[in-house]
Structure 1
Amino acid sequence: MHPRLHQTVVALAVTVAATGVLSGASYIYDFGADAEPETAPRVTSAPESPPWPAPDAATLARLIAALGEIYPELRDGSPGMSAQKICTDIRRGADEKSLLRSTGQAFAGDGSYFLDDGQVVRILAAVRENVCPTAGA
């Protein structure tokens, strides 16, 4: 390959890679985010509904035990507050993709934890089962 052509190809590859990284294209909790415009409402009903109550000690203990089986380090953060936010979103009618995105963001915190998509799905299921089984009812 001609050296000048090689430089052009390398420059183009670097530009494409940087654009994908800077635009967030590699964000793990994507769950089809490109399918919905950024201005689309995340809540489909009753945004005025009150927040879900904080979990009591027994509920929090069940959640912590479930999280420990998915990703042990999650027990150390503030899983009660994260679960409360997710339950409030469920009560307010958030769609499944939004719930998965917000679960990943809430439980990964400031990026201290790397959660794959399967773990996020399991965390959302644990929150639903242990903290707010009646939120969507």
Structure 2
Amino acid sequence: MLIGGVLSSCVKDVDLEQKEEISLSPDVQIDLLIYDIDQSQFVDPSTGNSKTHISDTVRLEFLDDDYIQEDLSSVEFYFRHINTFPREIESKIRFLSDANQEQFAVNYTIKPGVDGNPVTTEQFEFFEEDRIHLVR
């Protein structure tokens, strides 16, 4: 039995030893939110007592665009925190609908920093076709 195969390519000067270095970039990459928190935000200004949580709401209006509603097939959220506080912080990020119903949440612990040595915590959340309706 004789089995033969032919492989041809129209690519010039390809070094297959570098295959690990090949990467595909996303169609769109944007920074949604950047914020700084200092220790004064953990103090209630009216009483001077320590607060245990801080919250804020941001509207992501671009998610209402027709392009997003019709053509978004996957999304990766990347959260990065640089903590200078010497304690853990519980991060609870909730994504809400227009009717303020929770669509999904991303919860994780931010590692404590050390005095003069900030610590970075990263969290990834990936949505494909089975869950993309939660983002739309």
State TM-score, norm by structure 2. Answer: 0.23
Between structures 1 and 2, the one with greater helix share = 1
Q: Higher relative CO (CA 8 A, sep ≥ 6), structure 1 or 2?
A: 1
In our comparison, the structure showing a higher alpha carbon Rg is: 2
Between structures 1 and 2, the one with greater strand share = 2
